[in-house]
Amino acid sequence: MIVLQGRLDSIRFSNPENGYTVARYTPDGYQTEITIVGVLSGVRAGETLRIEGEWEKHVKFGEQFRILQFEVILPDTARGIRRYLASGVVPGVGAGMAEKLVAYFGTHTLEILDSSPERLEEVPGIGKSKASVIAKAWKSYHAIRTLMALMARIGASPSSGAKILHTYGSEALQLVQEDPYRICREIPEVPFEVADRLGLAAGMEKDASSRISAGLLHVLERAGYSGHVFLPERELLNKALRLLGGNREKLAEALSSMEKERVIVAEEGKEQRHIYLSDMHGAEAGIGLRLSAMLSIPSPDNMRPDLSSLELSVLKGLAIRLSEEQLNTLSRLLEHRVAILTGGPGTGKTTLIRSICAVMGERGARILLAAPTGRAARRLAEVTGRKALTLHRLLKYNQMESRFEMNRDHPLDLDMLIVDEASMVDILLMFHLLSAVPVNARILFVGDVSQLPSVGPGNVLADLISSGRIPSFTLTSIFRQAAESPIVLNAHLVNQGRMPDFTPVEEGRLSEFYFIRQGSPEKVVETIVALCSQRIPERFGFDPLKEVQVLTPMHKGEVGTLFLNQVLQNALNPLKPGKKKHMGSFRLGDKVIHLKNNYKKEVFNGDIGQICEIEEGEGLLLVDYSEGEGERQVSYTLEELDELALAYAISVHKSQGSEYPAVIIPLMPEHAPLLQRNLVYTAMTRGKRLVIFVGMSQALDMAIRNDRPTRRYSDLSRRLDSL
């Protein structure tokens, strides 16, 4: 690690959200400026900085110093203080004012600004009003500087400090001092460990009730990120003990206090108590009560199972031909207010959705279609010919206030709701959805229960089915056209726990399904690059950016999304000095994925597009999300770049609800913690015309044999069964 000290001459670029800065800096003893890059939140030109980091060579900008840690060094001489204040670090203080302050207070000037700002009025020519302005500006600056110094002292990354400053502004230091644990609750990017170090540095006792409560909350929140709705009490206490230290009695006392305050809810389980965050408990209990209420309402006339001759003619007019299994399922679905339709690829779920829409439309029902993601909603609209919305748009999510405007008091105006890709709906979203559906309306959940469960907490679709309370119907027959697809046939083999059939096709024909065996991560990456850049485009004619998608189980590692995206970016969209524009790590022409719903821009989590323009001077980046005939281009400022990531390779979870002409799936033993049958099944069913596995058959076999889904603590099934 190299340590330098010197003057910050100018700031060329600074992202206020993540603190990333490009600046010019003159180290002591150097005759020329150097370029420094990294997180430098709260600094001003003219300050003296001690920086730690490494030299690196940028393809376009040449040699620069990447900062890993920094510290602001305040001057201690009259000349240094005068120069420091004259640089403009404090708004309202220029060269003339700096001269007056230092002439009067000398080397004590900064000390006066820190501890006795009221004394500024003593300086000739500074009245009460001006003194107040200077004192306020210094206080704000001092708070920022103190916070960043504190972050450095506890060993926290500058990026954590940048996130805190961006969220709370000049009040950040005060809020951190009052309740350091608030920051990890409100800023997901700041780890609990950072908040805890801040608390302990501020003198908080290790067994302080506020610290223990914050730790218990953190463990429960992390459990939610892992898919759990609650934690068994012993597991919660054990995890908290490892995180916080101390003794179990103190943890139990804090848990009891949190229960009395309704921060958590505890319910008796078979062997021990189940501990919920209050919103999780409310969602799980609310789903049970709402579904029970819907199921108890008598059926109206339009819930008859038989199809009239007119309804049959409507289906015929839409060129819908139903198999005997589909016709029987349709009749039975029409009988129920709440029902579930499942089935694997090629079994005709979409045809049945179209049929239900046609029949219920003929019966005068107001029907709405929805899906969890933007891509899934657009696909649903394409195959049904009807408008389909994301669940968040259907419920009118208010991003500014983090709430849904459609709810129990303001219900949806509909008679029937059909939700596709229902396995992706987590317990909190399902609660909000059911709260907004009128109790006398109908709802049909459609999905493939063999796919991965939701990213969020719960395993809702599987729990609804296992409860036995919700009428569930499964399509099993594969239609003739689908039965000719190796992708469909092999997906069903995998779902049955059998290895896919990789038998080569007749000479001269191209298969849809391949396994390229490679024994090392390096060879896997090399093969994926060759497939994307040359072999697939040449043999199949697919566009490597728009029609080929790499799906991998993990983010980290040599065959994870992070590394693969770097390699594929350089292979498919290399940076050519003087020819390619770029912004941060993004280049003109890059394939990118949007990471979180943005309703103002009408772009959603999982949407994939291509960077079509970069205006470096204006700090703007344009992404083309056009699909089919519709043109859709969305602009991003520098501050919004964290809403984007490279998408040459994405996780299997991110691909849910989407389809691609061709998918490449790396599988290696290194992926062992995530190798499960439903992961492989989900990945391969994303491919419409070509699926290629790359890696070791041992890893594929390991995944297919592992039909024990990762356990998710949820009591929804039992709760429904007991109502």
- Which pLDDT tens digit goes with each residue over 377-428? 988 999 899 999 999 999 999 878 889 999 999 999 999 999 999 999 999 9
Percentage above 70 pLDDT, the chain: 96
For 2-154, CATH gives 1.10.150.20
> What pLDDT is attached to residue 202?
81
Give the three-state DSSP class for 597: coil
pLDDT tier at 156, thresholds 50, 70, 90:
confident
* Nearest alpha-carbon partner for 346 in 483, 449, 234: 483
Contact between 431 and 460 (Cβ < 8 Å) = no
Cα distances from 592 to residues 569, 587, 641, in angstroms, run 10, 10, 11
- Written as one string, the DSSP assignment of 146-176 is HHHHHHHHTT--HHHHHHHHHHHGGGHHHHH
Q: Parse the chain into domains and list their residue ranges.
A: 2-154, 165-279, 285-479+714-719, 498-573+586-705
* Choice among 156-170, 261-275, 392-406 with the minimum mean pLDDT: 156-170
Give the three-state DSSP class for 239: helix
285-479+714-719 has which fold? Rossmann fold (3.40.50)
Contact between 546 and 610 (Cβ < 8 Å) = yes
Please check whether the two domains, 2-154 and 285-479+714-719, share a CATH topology.
no
For 498-573+586-705, CATH gives 3.40.50.300
Residue with tokens 């206490």: 237
pLDDT tier at 526, thresholds 50, 70, 90:
very high
> What pLDDT is attached to residue 468?
93
For 165-279, CATH gives 1.10.10.2220
The sheet carrying 273-277 orders its strands as 231-232, 273-277, 264-268
What's 632's DSSP letter?
A: -
Average pLDDT, rounded, for the chain: 89
Contact between 469 and 720 (Cβ < 8 Å) = yes
Q: How many residues does the chain have?
A: 723
What's 630's DSSP letter?
A: B
Contact between 352 and 323 (Cβ < 8 Å) = no
Alpha-helical segments (H) within 468-580: 480-483, 486-495, 521-530, 536-540, 561-572
> What pLDDT is attached to residue 203?
85
Q: Is the pLDDT of residue 281 over 70?
A: yes
pLDDT tier at 564, thresholds 50, 70, 90:
very high
Positive/negative CA dihedral, 684, 686, 691, 696: negative
Residue 9 phi/psi, 5° resolution? -80, -45
Q: Which residue has the higher pLDDT, 696 or 485?
A: 696
Where does residue 541 fall: left (phi above 0), alpha (psi -120 to 50 degrees), or beta otherwise?
A: left
Angle among Cα 12, 15, 20 to the nearest 5 degrees reads 80
